[in-house]
Amino acid sequence: MWRETIEDLKDPHLVARIQQFFGVDITHEKSSPSPPQTDDQSRIIEKNGTVHENGKRIVHASEESLDPAEKSPIERRIPVNNYFWYYLFLFGTELGDEVFYCSFIPFWFWNIDGAVGRRIILVWSIVMTVGQALKDILCWPRPACPPAVRLQSKWSQEYGMPSTHAMVGVAIPFGIILFTMNRYVYSICSAVVVAVLWCSLICLSRLYLGMHTVLDIFAGLGLAGMMMIPLVPIVDFTDHYLVTNETALFVLFVISVATIIYYPTSDRWTPTRGDTAMVVSVTTGVHLAALINFKTGAMQPVLVPPPYSIIWPTWTMLGCTILRTVLGFCCVLATKAITKFLGYTTICAILRVNSKDLMNSENSHENKDKVLVDLFCKYISCFMIGFNTVYLLPNVFTIMGIERPTFYTEM
């Protein structure tokens, strides 16, 4: 019985039916050359490859070939009949992407609560690392196409089991609730509703885009839920030591580097190792910055214990929030660009390889120097983003007089 249930949940036909339910018109014929455009045919091509023909939206999708000898994917033109679901699920899948992390995490520290932010990052990094490593250990493929349709190719090189999007969909919103429920006075029921909607949107988006089977989603949800049970109290307890103790931070640094070095390898290259480097380096950078804030005396424990009432922003507070966010994001983008360039140049000089040749090398995934350079640059750039988010930029905000008053009391 269990075996049959598992096979049913792994069935790509189930994914195809879900896609059809949300308005994806699935056909399995190779696309023919586009007919010549006539005067009465309106054809508009967007930057993302989306085409509008006679009012119908056409999305270019990749479909895995049924013929093993045919290495290149079959390019197909998949009609998406429902604009609402299409854009909603594109937004939903971005909630588990690097762009979301690079915007949500700094925004949370600058404008909401640093103590909760540090704990959320620890949970996020552990959950993501375990999920990404399991993908390369289990090596379960993504849903077969056909019968499903791959509407997104960004993560198609990764394996599918478990869904780390689903794991993040549990870890971040529910982690926020667990770390704030005793810290602030607010409606827990309303927060749970928002968290469920958040998680559901991410999970459905992965099915809609043809990136995961239902079993991948359930496995991700279950694994993250089980991990959260011990992680939340452990992280809540250890955060103080990471902020106040150099030895604890050194251990975190060693673990982050060892995680990348001894990351499990699969039978082919996947981007999961780079994603893991991102999450562990951001976590290390954030906690190093918090340690420096504490050791320099900038961070002091608050005299009034929680719970706190939520203060809705005045127009002045809202203006400062906007200034912090805009200035901060510009600095984050600059940090990523500068550190990536300097890191790439430095490591190439150490390895005595030509940076331009290495950057343009073919079969880059099989080039060990290229992989090492990419991992180093990813670690350094994300580490500096985390460090600047918690140390450099809050100091800049203080000098400019737009700081958040409680930032340096959140231990």
**Residues labelled as active-site residues:** 165, 212
Q: List 60's β-bridge partners, or say none.
A: 77
Long-range contacts of 1-7 (CB under 8 A, 24+ apart): 6/215
Closest to 100 in 3D by CA, of 226, 246, 198, 238:
198
Q: Which two tokens stand for residue 76?
A: 């197909």
Please, what sign has the CA dihedral across residues 243, 248, 253, 256?
A: negative
Q: List 77's β-bridge partners, or say none.
A: 60
CA atoms of 411 and 290, how far apart (whole Å): 9
Closest to 218 in 3D by CA, of 170, 276, 152:
170
Which residue matches tokens 């030591």?
241
CA atoms of 188 and 75, how far apart (whole Å): 47
Buried b (16+ CB within 10 A) or exposed e, 52-68: ebeeebbbbbbbbeeee
Long-range contacts of 43-52 (CB under 8 A, 24+ apart): 51/77
Planar angle of CA 270, 273, 279, nearest 5 degrees: 135
Please, what sign has the CA dihedral across residues 341, 277, 361, 357?
A: positive
**Between the CA of residue 169 and those of 95, 299, 350, 381, what are the distances in Å?**
8, 31, 40, 25
Preceding omega of 233 cis (within 30 degrees of 0): no
Query: Do 159 and 320 form a contact (C-beta atoms < 8 A)?
Result: no
Q: Three-class SS of residue 245? A: coil
